[in-house]
Amino acid sequence: STGVNTAVTTYHHNMKSEFQEVEILDTVAFGKCLILDGKMQSAAADEFVYHESLVHTAMLSHPNPKNVFIGGGGEGATLREILRHKTVEKCTMVDIDGQAVDYCKEHLKSHHDGAFDDPRTELVIDDAKGWLERYDGPKFDVMVMDLADPVDDGPCYLLYTVKFYEFCKTRLADDGILITQSGPAGLFSADQVFSAIACTLQKAFSSVQMAVSHVPSFGDVYGFGLAANSALPDLSGKIDALIAERISDPSKLRYFDEETYLHMTHLPKYLRTMIANEKRLITEETPLFIN
């Protein structure tokens, strides 16, 4: 994420893990924030916008998600949102950076809200790609790729490729759904990776729906790519009833509802045109990186 400038009031932590520089600090505008390699990843004031968008769009598109996978998800907020769903029996979160996860557990308690202690949670410190390749357990109903943006020499850029998405299909149940954060999707930023991720998902999956939400602390609109082998359901007019039925405490949702879902999934014309005209496929040989 690009982030915006804001005054800092307190530095809680600044360390270099094996994989990235990790900072946790308090800001005037956005409260407590997680910064990775100098880029805003999650801010207390508006993280719910990003995490509710990422999670509930996918979870409510599945009829009965019981077994869920998270790729990345360091601070635990994606896990928190998944565990709001009463159908969930197990959620496996695989993040490569155990040091970053530990610091988030300690310093970002409002982000994870105790989700790491939920008996349905299995936390694995490993490379998500390698772990999935070795995994031979039950297939996943929903896979949520809560990854850092693809940057050169970063840990995540190979998790945005045709090869990886096609491999994910082998770990999804027949009616399984994958969602990935898809980078900035603003008028001047969507051509970095958002439209190419859409094109890449369309190459790997038979059904793809792109969505966007404005995340103020990221300083931009951000994208999400929903994908499945079978037709994605039309949830128009059904979201609020699904939330009431399936979320343990609907009042906890601060962003996602019927109107928000419709806004997220009805893209402006410039984005629809950009996706329709996009020819770039992200491959291991031709990766794309955020500027």
**81 half-sphere exposure, CB direction, 13 A CA radius:** 28
d(CA 122, CA 119): 8
Residue 61: closest CA among 264, 269, 281, 197: 264
Concatenated DSSP letters for 202-221?
A: HHH-SEEEEEEEEEGGGTEE
Q: What's the CA gap between 150 and 222, in Å, rounded?
A: 14
C-alpha–C-alpha distance, residues 122 and 133, integer Å: 17
Q: How many other CB atoms sit within 10 Å of the CB of residue 106?
A: 11
Residue 282 near residue 162, CB atoms below 8 Å: yes
Question: Is 113 a residue of the active site?
Answer: no
d(CA 168, CA 162): 10
- Contact status, residue 47 vs residue 21, Cβ threshold 8 Å: no
How far, in Å, CA of 146 to CA of 149, rounded?
9
Closest Cα partner for 289 from 207, 217, 208, 197? 197
Are 224 and 197 a contacting pair, CB within 8 Å?
A: no
Q: Which of 46, 95, 127, 146 is catalytic?
A: 146
Q: Which two tokens stand for residue 93?
A: 């979160």
**21 has which bridge partners?**
16
Amino acid occupying residue 95: D
Edge-first strand order for the sheet with 21-27 is 8-16, 21-27, 31-36, 39-43
Active site residues: 146
